[in-house]
Amino acid sequence: MLPWNYGLHWTLGTMVFLGAFYTVLVVVATTLVSAVVRSRRSLRAGGADGLRWRSDFHDLAARDRACRHQLTGELECRECPNGFDCRQCDTHRAILEQRPAPEPGARSVEDFGMTFPLDRLYHRGHTWVRRERNGTVTVGLDDLGRVLVGKPDSVDLPRKGHRLRLHATAWRMRKGRAGLSVVSPVAGIVVETGGPDQPWYLKVRPEQADLRHLLEGIEVRPWLAREMERLQRALMAAGAAPQPVDGQATLASLAASCPEECREAVCGAMFLRP
């Protein structure tokens, strides 16, 4: 195998054969090592969070990856190619330009026993973001998240001055045996912290003003309907009793039917990660 092996005669056949073998070994080892190196580099650059979000996105069934514009009916059928991050999406920009101005009357969406005010933007991870006049944004948990989690036993908020990364964990909550983390809808520095007793959780100075990846206006109601569907499916998969599908189902009743031990799994399905 090695050139100095006693009695090993190097013919053309031997050289071709062992050459091929060593080449394969080198290719496999190099590939493996480069994967290790790249992953360490990515970890150091904080890529793990974005990867987690993208990985959760890929785990969704195809119908759950529908583009926000399919939800509103503006597009016939489109699967999101960007992991719900609409900031780079050309289709999103084009449609936004063509969208008519929002009606001034509507102030909030009320459905399934929840209220979703329209003065704020919504993240798919069930947090809302409201732009404040001083350039900061306020971040909170939306009604669906709030009812699903219930009253948390403990909340682990980030310190003031902590740097939030987009799609990283914004804050953690514990309820019973379930530990849940909330996905951060923005990237920025935490300026103030609130809590479950207050109407908001965090005030953040965002790194960029671009909040196009968040849902707004006419998108909220169809998104909510889809989320309720997903919740029903997640509950059934977790073994809850099936609920009547007749619009009378409220979020509260659904959440009540969720067995305690499945809370983590169900919340995980709704992007409130374990």
Partner 1 sequence: MDRRFIPTGVARCSTSRFLMWLALWAALLAFGLYSAGLCLVEGLNQTHMNNRFAFGLWIFLDLTVIALGAGAFFTGFLLYILKRKELRGVINSAVVIGLMCYGGAMAVLGVDVGQPLRAWFTFWYPNVHSMLTEVTFCISCYLTVLLIEYLPIVLKNRKLRQVPHFLVFEHELHNLVYVFAGVGTFLSFFHQGSLGGLYGVLRGRPFAFREELGIWPTTFFLFILSAAAVGPSFILLTTWLVQKLARKPLVRPAVFESLGRISGLLLAAYVLLKTVDTIVWLRRTTPRSGFLPAQYYAWKPFGIWLLFVEIALFLVPMAILLIPKLRARTAWLVPAAAMACCGVALNRFVLTIQTLALPTLSFDRFVYYLPSWQETGTFLAVVAAGVLVYSISFRYFVLFPEEREL
> What residue ranges bind partner 1 (CB under 8 A)?
1, 5, 7-8, 11, 13-14, 16-18, 21, 24-25, 27-28, 31-32, 34-36, 38-39, 42-43, 47-48, 51-52, 55, 59, 61-63, 234, 237, 239, 261-262, 264-265, 268-269, 274
Give the total residue count for the chain.
Answer: 274
- Judging by DSSP bridges, how do beta strands 127-131 and 121-123 pair with one another? antiparallel
C-beta of 137 vs 235, nearer to partner 1: 235
In contact, 201 and 194? CB cutoff 8 Å: yes
C-beta of 81 vs 274, nearer to partner 1: 274
C-beta of 59 vs 210, nearer to partner 1: 59
C-beta of 11 vs 134, nearer to partner 1: 11
Q: How far is the CB of 157 from partner 1 (least distance, A)?
A: 20
Quote the radius of gyration of the chain (alpha carbons, Å): 25
Location of structure tokens 């001083």: 134
CA angle 144, 149, 155 (to 5 degrees): 120
Listed in sequence order, the residues at least 6 apart from 155 whose beta carbon sits closer than 8 Å to its beta carbon are 171, 172, 173, 174, 195, 196
C-beta of 125 vs 140, nearer to partner 1: 125
Neighbouring CB atoms inside 10 A of 35's CB total: 10
In contact, 200 and 138? CB cutoff 8 Å: yes
Q: How far apart are CA 66 and CA 23, in angstroms?
A: 45
